[in-house]
Amino acid sequence: MSSVNIDLMRWDPLRNMGTSSTVALTDGGGWFRGIGLIVGDEYTVSANAEGYREAETEMFTAMAEMTQIADLELLPVLSQFFIEGHLTDSAGKSVRGARLNIQYPEFKETLTDENGVFRFEDLSMAVINEVNIDHPDYAYHSFKILKANQRHDFVLTKADGYISGTVVDADGNPIERANVMVEAEEDSSGYIYSGVRANVLGKFELKHIKDAMVSIYVSADRDYKIYEDIEVNQRDLVLTLTPTEWGPEPTPEEQARMKAQQAYVEDAEERFKTLVNQPAPELAVSEWMSGPPISIRDLEGKTVALYFWDDTEISDRIHWACLLNLLKEVYGEKGFVCVAVCPATTEIERVKQHIAEHSLNYSIGLDSSSDVIGAEGETFDRFAFGWPAAPFTLINAAGEITGRVWDSELESQIQTMLAD
The pLDDT of residue 50 is above 80 = no
SS3 399: coil
Is there a domain that residue 259 lies in?
yes
Domain boundary among 131, 156, 181: 156
If asked whether residues 92 and 193 sit together in one domain, one would say no
SS3 68: coil
Single out the residue of 77, 86, 83 nearest to residue 120, CA to CA. 83
Is there a domain that residue 73 lies in?
no
Confidence band for 188, pLDDT divided at 50, 70 and 90: very low
Point out which residues pair with 290 in neighbouring strands.
Answer: 364
Q: 204-245: per-residue pLDDT in tens?
A: 999 888 888 989 999 998 788 999 999 999 999 999 998 877
Domain boundary among 206, 240, 274: 240
If asked whether residues 282 and 377 sit together in one domain, one would say yes
Confidence band for 399, pLDDT divided at 50, 70 and 90: very high
Helices (H) then strands (E): counts for the chain? 5, 26
DSSP-derived pairing of the beta strands 161-168 and 203-209: antiparallel
When pLDDT is averaged across residues 41-47 and rounded to a whole number, the result is: 80
Single out the residue of 35, 48, 37 nearest to residue 10, CA to CA. 37
Confidence band for 336, pLDDT divided at 50, 70 and 90: very high
Is there a domain that residue 246 lies in?
no
Confidence band for 3, pLDDT divided at 50, 70 and 90: low
Distance CA 171, CA 78 (A): 56
Q: What is the largest CA-CA distance in the chain?
A: 66
Is there a domain that residue 69 lies in?
no
Cβ atoms 393, 299 nearer than 8 A:
no
Is there a domain that residue 245 lies in?
no
If asked whether residues 257 and 220 sit together in one domain, one would say no
Percent of the chain predicted with pLDDT > 90:
56
Is the model more confident about 241 or about 49?
241
pLDDT at 313: 74
DSSP assignments along 357-398, one per residue: HHT--SEEEEEPP--STT-SSHHHHHTT--TTS-SEEEE-TT
If asked whether residues 144 and 212 sit together in one domain, one would say no
Cβ atoms 336, 326 nearer than 8 A:
no
pLDDT at 12: 67
Alpha helices in 63-185 (DSSP H): none
When pLDDT is averaged across residues 312-325 and rounded to a whole number, the result is: 86
Distance CA 93, CA 206 (A): 26
CATH number of domain containing 109? 2.60.40.1120
Is there a domain that residue 339 lies in?
yes
DSSP assignments along 337-356, one per residue: EEEEEE-TT--HHHHHHHHH
The pLDDT of residue 139 is above 60 = yes
Structural domain for 146, as ranges:
81-156
CATH number of domain containing 360? 3.40.30.10
If asked whether residues 42 and 103 sit together in one domain, one would say no
Among the residue ranges 42-46, 71-75, 160-164, 361-365, the one predicted with the least confidence is 71-75
If asked whether residues 373 and 299 sit together in one domain, one would say yes
Domain boundary among 137, 156, 175: 156
Is there a domain that residue 380 lies in?
yes
SS3 262: helix
Single out the residue of 298, 290, 319, 256 nearest to residue 399, CA to CA. 298
Cβ atoms 98, 131 nearer than 8 A:
no
pLDDT at 356: 95
DSSP-derived pairing of the beta strands 213-220 and 223-231: antiparallel
Q: 264-293: per-residue pLDDT in tens?
A: 989 999 999 999 999 999 999 999 999 999
If asked whether residues 147 and 176 sit together in one domain, one would say no
Is there a domain that residue 108 lies in?
yes
If asked whether residues 212 and 141 sit together in one domain, one would say no
pLDDT at 416: 92
Backbone angles phi, psi at 326, to 5 degrees: -70, -35
Q: Which amino acid is at 37?
A: L
If asked whether residues 396 and 266 sit together in one domain, one would say yes
If asked whether residues 290 and 372 sit together in one domain, one would say yes
Distance CA 145, CA 359 (A): 14
Q: Which amino acid is at 124?
A: S
If asked whether residues 149 and 165 sit together in one domain, one would say no
Where is mean pLDDT largest: 109-118, 177-186, 259-268?
A: 109-118
If asked whether residues 275 and 414 sit together in one domain, one would say yes
Q: How many domains does the chain have?
A: 4
CATH number of domain containing 182? 2.60.40.10
pTM of the predicted model as reported, rounded to 2 decimal places: 0.73
